[in-house]
Structure 1
């Protein structure tokens, strides 16, 4: 641990501790975690501390969709399997699965891995009636071929293997 700073509320009481860690700074992140006075801890850079492999912090080959136009252009790619992760920046399970999703984008490099933040492009998430994040959609030629709601690494891996067996 490199440094601790305390965030004080209006009353002057300590309400949270901001912890800066060396393992986060090596990735160019400015912070490690924010811990509230109730003991809840929230990572601030998306680095999954529970995984030993730090190499995937850069999100692999995942493309971030920021506009409806980019979404449409991506879905129109013929013959390409597209895996879309609907996520949110505030979602804890999304932060946990993000590094693994990045790893899978390198392992399955013939697929196109994209991420859509439900708050950045709400029109897209609303059109798919996203009720929980992360939610993964699998597309081929604009057709939905599978869907996974949740952030279990094993379930995502199984879906990718199954799709590989069926479509490649």
Structure 2
């Protein structure tokens, strides 16, 4: 999964088709819980582009998007937010896959 590097990149990516932003942080144990299977989730959903957003590096973006818990996911498609899976709760593989299936 590629890391988001700038706000300009974020703005460009939101205009593309089916982009998933995963909001995370190095210190977040629930974020690391999903690391072992996220590669397989990406392989399963090849019609999406996945980008990791470090909450600590993009705190203003997180506030703007109401990301107050991590890990969280937001899907954009052609400039429009299509869905969000945002909470402070630990996410399971099944919950993430179920969320993404809505946009497949």
Structure 1 length-normalised TM: 0.56
Q: Deviation digits for residues 31-59 of structure 1, max 9, x if unmatched?
A: xxxxxxxxxxxxxxxxxxxxxxxxxxxxx
Alignment equivalent of 1:76, drawn from 1, 8, 15 = 15
- The unaligned stretches of length 5 or more in structure 1 are 1-61
- The residue that corresponds to 1:120 in the other structure is 57
Native 8 Å contact 1:66 1:121 kept in 2: no
Name the one with the larger strand percent: 1
Q: CA RMSD in A?
A: 1.3
Match of 1:65 in 2: 4
Provide the residue aligned with 1:91 in structure 2.
Answer: 28
Q: Is structure 2 residue 89 aligned with structure 1 residue 159? A: no
Unaligned ranges ≥5, structure 2: none
Could you say which structure has the greater relative contact order, defined with CA pairs below 8 angstroms and 6 or more residues apart?
A: 2
In 2: Cα distance, 1:101 partner to 1:147 partner: 17
Of 126, 129, 132, the residue aligned with 2:69 is: 132
Q: Does 1:143 align with 2:89?
A: no
TM-score (norm: length of structure 2): 0.87
Q: Which runs of 4+ in 1 moved over 6 A?
A: none
More helix by share: 2
Deviation for aligned residue 1:132: 0.5
